[in-house]
Amino acid sequence: MKIKNVDVELISNSRNGSCLQVTINNAFTGSSGSDNLNNSIKEMPGVSITFLNKILNKGLYGLNVENFNDILEIEELLMSYDGTKNLAKIGGNLLLALDFALLKLAGNNNPLKIINRKPDKVPQHICNCAVTNFTEKSRRFQEFFIIPKVNNFSDGYFANSFIYSRVKSLLKSNERTDEGSIITELKKENVLYLMEKLTEETTKKLGVEFSLGVNLNSENIYNKGIYKLGKQNLTLNEFLSDLNKLILRFDIDYLEDPLNKENISEIGKIKSNYISGNRIFNGELDKVKRYAKYFNCCVLKLNEIGGLSRLKKIADFCRNNDICLILEQNLGETNDTTVCDIATGFDFDFIKYGIYGKERILKLQELKRIEQEL
């Protein structure tokens, strides 16, 4: 199908912030979800919506989009026009929103068939559950996840929903992060104890077993040789000792960003089965390659990567090196569910989403629908 016109506009996301939406041929719409025009890489001073509409309509008019390679060629055209590594002129989120719209154009509102014509599964669900040591100004938090041991998404989503509602009730807190984690003042040990008890009770009731996961957020809790966990100030050895005690006590199967990159060579001393990199990768292929030997899981946010061609390179590298792929939600989300097609089409192992807010629940429901079709 040929591109006849492109319309770029600002819409509101789940945080009531502004994000970009791209509509092609007045029918096929994609939105990025992020709060700024570019993404977390860099701001774009002086770039207007009028400018973006002008360059897209001039550069893309008449181009035919039938398959995935056509979309990659359009990406290459725009990246060449931009000329910067971090897409400082046109913005990574413009490219992402455009990609979503192009996938819908080529697939006639079925993006999955353009990405992968024969997917055999959808990703499993990792549920953002609770967070401690959290404030808006300080990002020195620890976040806790539940991961059901099931063979399909729908059963896992149901089990996670069951536990999440119980956690919300027991923590007696109405405060939540943008991702849906319930904010608590409990110590990490108490949160883990609560989650352990709830998962054990749920296993008896539903017959589903669970793993626990923790995002230690080490890039933000580390400073000059010290890891700050709540009121604790720990050296590397003290931190590793404390961490391994928690892993053994609560059978923590999944750890995210457990060590600062200055100490990354010590990561082999951690006793958890799945060691995941997130902030240390930041959606950049060169960083994924540099640190891949220390991790067996890679967390990616689409709005940090800057386009499907870059995503494909990272996904291919991870697959070739037996690294599990996890797609993470944005802070700001919209009703666009193309991320579900991308997670399925690129064979992601997990999708990490909280069960909170209509924008996130829409995506989880869409994954259920895709699974039923498969």
Residue 365 is part of a domain; what is its CATH number?
A: 3.20.20.120
- Our count of domains for the chain comes to 2
Give the rounded percent of residues in the chain with a pLDDT score beyond 70: 95
Residue 55 is part of a domain; what is its CATH number?
A: 3.30.390.10
CA distances from 142 to 91, 182, 198, 280 (A): 31, 12, 19, 16
For the chain, the farthest-separated pair of C-alpha atoms sits apart, in whole angstroms, at 62
Residue 125 confidence (pLDDT):
98
Residue 41 confidence (pLDDT):
32
Domain residues for the domain of 133 are 124-373
Instruction: Give yes or no: residues 170 and 104 share one domain.
Output: no
Q: Is residue 119 one of the residues assigned to a domain? A: no
Q: Average pLDDT for residues 130-152, to the nearest whole number?
A: 85
Domain stops at, among 109, 143, 177: 109
Check pLDDT > 70 for residue 139: no
Q: How many CB atoms lie within 10 A of CB 181?
A: 25
Instruction: Give yes or no: residues 157 and 190 share one domain.
Output: yes
Instruction: Give yes or no: residues 343 and 218 share one domain.
Output: yes
35 pLDDT band, cuts 50/70/90, is low
Please say whether the beta carbons of 216 and 147 come within 8 A: no
Instruction: Give yes or no: residues 198 and 74 share one domain.
Output: no
Give the model confidence (pLDDT) of 92-118 as tens digits: 889 999 999 999 999 999 999 999 878
Q: Is residue 60 one of the residues assigned to a domain? A: yes
Check pLDDT > 90 for residue 318: yes
Instruction: Give yes or no: residues 197 and 51 share one domain.
Output: no
Placement of tokens 């939105």 in the chain: 31
Instruction: Give yes or no: residues 283 and 166 share one domain.
Output: yes
Taking the C-alpha atoms of residue 33 and residue 18, their distance in angstroms, rounded to an integer, is 8
Q: Average pLDDT for residues 27-51, to the nearest whole number?
A: 66
Q: Average pLDDT for residues 112-128, to the nearest whole number?
A: 93
Instruction: Give yes or no: residues 342 and 250 share one domain.
Output: yes
Instruction: Give yes or no: residues 272 and 212 share one domain.
Output: yes
Please say whether the beta carbons of 10 and 23 come within 8 A: no
Instruction: Give yes or no: residues 82 and 166 share one domain.
Output: no
Closest Cα partner for 82 from 129, 125, 42?
A: 42
Give the model confidence (pLDDT) of 187-233 as tens digits: 999 999 999 999 999 999 999 999 999 999 998 899 999 998 878 89
Instruction: Give yes or no: residues 191 and 48 share one domain.
Output: no
38 pLDDT band, cuts 50/70/90, is very low
Instruction: Give yes or no: residues 24 and 66 share one domain.
Output: yes
Domain stops at, among 85, 109, 133: 109
Q: Is residue 133 one of the residues assigned to a domain? A: yes
Q: What is the model's pTM?
A: 0.93
Q: Is residue 117 one of the residues assigned to a domain? A: no
Domain stops at, among 75, 109, 143: 109
